[in-house]
Structure 1
Amino acid sequence: MNDQLPSRHLPKSPFFVARALNTLQHFLHVEAVSGIVLLVAVAAALLWANSSFAHWYHDIWNQPVTLRLGDFAFVRSLHFWINDALMTVFFLVVGMEIRREIHEGALSRFDQAILPVLAAVGGVVVPALIYLSFNTVTGRSQGWAIPTATDIAFAVGVLALLGRSIPVNVRVFLLALAIIDDIIAVLVIALFYTSSLDLNGFMVASFGVLMALGFQRFGFNSAFAYVVPAFIVWAGFLTAGVHPTLAGVVLGLITPVRSAAPEIVPPVIRVETALHPWVAYTIMPLFALANAGVDLRNTAFTGGAQFVTLGVALALCAGKPIGVIGATWLAVRTGWCRLAPGVSWSGICLIGLLAGIGFTMSIFIAMLAFTDERFLDAAKFGVLLGSLISVTLGLGWGAEYAHRHREQGDH
């Protein structure tokens, strides 16, 4: 006789808690493994761009790709389709992560969210100030936002390498911090890295959003039904002068978080779970392969480019820890917040160091900030250098922290 109740008879609260924990575990697993895949893609791009086949690297990404519908032809480079189209799916997953965290995760309660929010703000302001201290001149100053974002995949991947001795609340704090970083980065892109705005484009995008909401209202459950409104929102943003990838964030934020009558899993979890592996294992590595190829042989660190590299690298490996740790200490010291159980100041230091790993969003912002290839390559190199230093420091500190935590557990 089976004494276990089937899942449909479980109390609602434990069921949703279990589901949330399973979603978190799945998310962390995918991010940890994808961090390794992303690292391989970065290494491949660097080797390719610095090999005798370097000319192929640039030729391939500049190949024109045509989207044709009858007499209408839309021609853009392969680089555009990766950075402006495929990355929209990346931002869609980001938007869904934000929506889910606001509904039932680390951002659902003010008292839980305020500490990582303050830490993230500190981790944005201090790196920006450090970068600007080296790059106040026109032409370089617009890169201030490059070192403000944390790469979730790399950061969680490093935590995975440190093993299970790292307390779960440290992982949750880092995850919340990285997600809030993404929110700030999205706002920065929308507010500071947009061209002249076309209101007609916003009208087209609004029509696409209303169409998606209408489909939800009428109970359209198939994800394929939303491809057309998603394309309309994307095209509207492109026409409006806003970076089209932000269409993904908008669509992610309006994805339902509650299950319909015949459903067990809410759409936001179902779609995110389906897309997340594709983003982690295909889109992000492809983005890395197409954008991390800096030719170090021909990079001229002159004319101010050296200050771009120095500003970005130092802002990541020093500014991020100082901002995160400093803001957290100030919030706790003033009595506004308390550290979660299991989170010590050594754990906060680890989080601060790992927050300095910036890749996907940092390089993405760099491409929006600079049209000068010298400054763009210098910024990319600064991201790679600062992230490498942060990984090294994070692994060193984390190994010692994990060792001390295991010893305390043994006693």
Structure 2
Amino acid sequence: MHNTQLPRAQQLAERALARFEHFLHIEAVSGVVLLIAAIAALVWANSPAAASYEALWHTPITLGVGSLVYAQPLHFWVNDGLMTIFFLVVGMEIRREIHEGALANLRQATLPMVAAIGGVAVPALVYLGFGHAADEQRGWAVPTATDIAFAVGVLALLGKSIPSNVRVFLLALAIIDDIIAVLIIAVFYSGGLDYSGFAVAALGLALVVGLQRIGVGSAYAYVIPGAITWVGVLMTGAHPTLAGVVLGLMTPVTARPMRETPLEAVTRFTQELVGRARNAGQAPGDLLSPLKHLRLAQRELLPPVVRVQSALHPWVAYAIMPVFALANAGVSVGGVDLGAQAPHGVMLAVMLALVVGKPVGIISVSWLMVRLGLCSLPAGVTWSGITLIGLLAGIGFTMSIFIANLAFIDPATLGAAKLGVLSASVIAAVLGLVWGVLRVRKA
């Protein structure tokens, strides 16, 4: 009989790891981490050590092989490199929702779809209504985006008293919002296109399709084709993070074809492994083959879009997005002259568009569509719930700051836009929480 009593240290380690994993899957936590990173960046950029903040993100990072050398500052590798993985996960979320989620049924998806369009159009009009100069008008798309992680995290703080369909509606709206944001980036914030880059990107995508056709299921095999696609999109002049969206949309939603179902294969190889392990004369090396086949069969139990997204989610939520916030939220208040008309106008326009324009656009368009009989509210979703969704959609954070970096060249205007996004996101989060608490108490 084997001794199953584990050492005390190992028991404590396993218990701590289990609690840590549970902690990482609490949706509100990723939003809190993001907020902490943004606050840290603001404090750092306005402290006596502000010079070190600027120096860090302007540190050149060089990649090269032989005579092929490519050097860019750390800020570029965060915004254009790491954020590609963020957009890859966004693409996978869109792919999953279209296949089996809130976007799979056209009737079910219509209301969040038109609400998202309203939530993009009205903030853009509010921003443009300030009558900016030509350079500042390029920021019209900054207040049109919703931060999924932050918005859903704030909603999670309200607990299970909020109907599940409110969360589904918010997720669907935010995902459609992301689709529109990606299209806006592709159409309005890409420079003059160099068509030679399309050939390189097409080569990368052809390699992805080829690997999928021959049944390669390992995600690591797609790293090089993905990198080729990224380089190709960068060469075209479009924003390279769009490569992540394309690759995410191409990720299969079903397991690769096998001669038997993955569950049958897992059962068969498990039985073979157990049989060999119980054989007293069996050499340990003889277990390698069934173990290898068992691992492959276990991998195919989940479709690639679920498997890869689940593997990347913790890295995106707790590493990539906080690093992005740390690199981009550090606005030096002293370096932004809010007394000047242009920066002051940009900041106010972004704040008003997110805090007021977002909920007005979402609520008014939803009401109009329901009133005309073209849509109906989902089960369990009331107008109070739609108002909560509209308020939380004003949290622009990640995507809004990302678009601001593309829209503005002038540091003062960019800083003002970021301050507007940060301020509006905090106000929208507080308004959403207050409205949610009042809603819960009333219920």
Q: How does 1:139-288 map to 2 (within 5 A)?
A: 139-260=135-256, 261=258, 262=262, 263-288=300-325
**1:296 alignment partner in structure 2:** 333
TM-score (normalised: structure 1)? 0.91
Moved more, 392-401 or 257-266: 257-266
Work out which of the two has the higher radius of gyration on C-alpha atoms and give 1 or 2.
2
Q: Within the alignment, does 1:378 sit opposite 2:416 as a pair?
A: yes
**2:297 alignment partner in structure 1:** none
SS at match of 2:375: coil
8 Å Cα contact 1:92/1:252 also seen in 2: yes
**1:305 alignment partner in structure 2:** 343
Runs (4+) of structure 1 exceeding 4 A deviation are none
8 Å Cα contact 1:309/1:382 also seen in 2: yes
Q: How does 1:86-105 map to 2 (within 5 A)?
A: 86-105=82-101
CA distance in 2, matches of 1:148, 1:280: 22
CA distance in 1, matches of 2:55, 2:31: 27
Q: CA deviation at 1:304?
A: 1.0
Q: Are the structure 2 counterparts of residues 31 and 187 from structure 1 closer, same or farther at C-alpha, using a change threshold of 3 Å?
A: farther
Q: Give the aligned residue type for 1:370.
A: F
Q: Deviations over 1:133-174 (max 9, x none)?
A: 114421100100000010011111111111110000000000
Q: Give the aligned residue type for 1:187.
A: L
SS at match of 1:340: coil
SS at match of 1:140: helix
Q: Are the structure 2 counterparts of residues 231 and 96 from structure 1 closer, same or farther at C-alpha, using a change threshold of 3 Å?
A: same
**1:397 alignment partner in structure 2:** 435
Moved more, 369-378 or 129-138: 129-138
SS at match of 1:74: strand
CA distance in 2, matches of 1:126, 1:169: 25
Q: Deviations over 1:346-379 (max 9, x none)?
A: 0000000000000100000000000110110010
**1:328 alignment partner in structure 2:** 366
Q: Deviations over 1:156-193 (max 9, x none)?
A: 11111111100000000001111110000000000000
Q: Within the alignment, does 1:358 sit opposite 2:354 as a pair?
A: no
8 Å Cα contact 1:88/1:244 also seen in 2: yes
8 Å Cα contact 2:336/2:343 also seen in 1: no
Q: Are the structure 2 counterparts of residues 85 and 199 from structure 1 closer, same or farther at C-alpha, using a change threshold of 3 Å?
A: same
8 Å Cα contact 1:31/1:280 also seen in 2: no
Q: Deviations over 1:241-291 (max 9, x none)?
A: 000000000000010001123421100000000001100100000000000
CA distance in 2, matches of 1:46, 1:54: 10
Q: CA deviation at 1:30?
A: 5.2
**1:129 alignment partner in structure 2:** 125
8 Å Cα contact 1:357/1:390 also seen in 2: yes
8 Å Cα contact 2:34/2:322 also seen in 1: yes
Q: CA deviation at 1:392?
A: 1.3
**2:296 alignment partner in structure 1:** none
Q: Give the aligned residue type for 2:238.
A: V
Q: Deviations over 1:111-143 (max 9, x none)?
A: 010000000000000000000011442110010
Q: Within the alignment, does 1:61 sit opposite 2:57 as a pair?
A: yes
Q: Are the structure 2 counterparts of residues 236 and 30 from structure 1 closer, same or farther at C-alpha, using a change threshold of 3 Å?
A: farther
Q: Give the aligned residue type for 1:37.
A: V
CA distance in 2, matches of 1:135, 1:235: 38
CA distance in 2, matches of 1:292, 1:247: 24
SS at match of 2:337: coil
8 Å Cα contact 1:313/1:382 also seen in 2: yes
Q: CA deviation at 1:298?
A: 2.7
SS at match of 2:334: coil
Q: Give the aligned residue type for 2:216.
A: F
Q: Give the aligned residue type for 1:162.
A: L
Q: Deviations over 1:206-264 (max 9, x none)?
A: 11111101000011111111011101110000000000000000000010001123421
CA distance in 2, matches of 1:84, 1:34: 21
**2:31 alignment partner in structure 1:** 35
Q: Within the alignment, does 1:111 sit opposite 2:148 as a pair?
A: no
TM-score (normalised: structure 2)? 0.84
8 Å Cα contact 2:132/2:342 also seen in 1: no
Q: CA deviation at 1:385?
A: 1.1
Aligned residues: 380
Q: Give the aligned residue type for 2:209.
A: L
8 Å Cα contact 1:359/1:383 also seen in 2: yes
Q: Within the alignment, does 1:338 sit opposite 2:376 as a pair?
A: yes
CA distance in 1, matches of 2:255, 2:430: 43
CA distance in 2, matches of 1:235, 1:31: 33
Q: Are the structure 2 counterparts of residues 30 and 81 from structure 1 closer, same or farther at C-alpha, using a change threshold of 3 Å?
A: farther
SS at match of 1:335: coil
8 Å Cα contact 2:40/2:326 also seen in 1: yes
Q: Give the aligned residue type for 1:237.
A: V
Q: CA deviation at 1:33?
A: 1.7
